Amino acid sequence: MGRKSYVYLVIAIMAAFFVAGCETVPKKFREEVSGIRSKVDTLESRVEGVESKQSDVERMASERLERLEEMKVVKEQSVKTNFEIRPKAGKSKEHIKEIQACLQNAGFYKGEIDGIKGRGTKRAIKEFQGANGLKADGKVGPKTWELLSKYASGGAASNAAGPEEGATK
Q: Does the pLDDT of residue 14 top 50, yes or no?
A: yes
Q: Which of 1-5, 88-92, 148-152 has the highest mean pLDDT?
A: 148-152
Q: What DSSP character marks residue 151?
A: G
CB 84 within 8 A of CB 142: no
Tell me, what's the pLDDT at 155?
52
Q: Does the pLDDT of residue 114 top 60, yes or no?
A: yes
**Other beta carbons within 10 Å of 139:** 12
Cα separation, 161 vs 159, whole angstroms: 6
CA 4 to the chain's CA centroid? 93
- Mean pLDDT in residue range 65-70: 86
Q: Does the pLDDT of residue 144 top 50, yes or no?
A: yes
Q: Does the pLDDT of residue 61 top 70, yes or no?
A: yes
What is the CATH class of 93-165? mainly alpha
Confidence of residue 70 (pLDDT cuts 50, 70, 90): confident
Domain boundaries, the chain: 93-165
| pLDDT 10s digits, 78-113 | 655 444 444 444 568 888 999 999 999 999 999 999
Cα separation, 23 vs 16, whole angstroms: 11
Confidence of residue 17 (pLDDT cuts 50, 70, 90): low
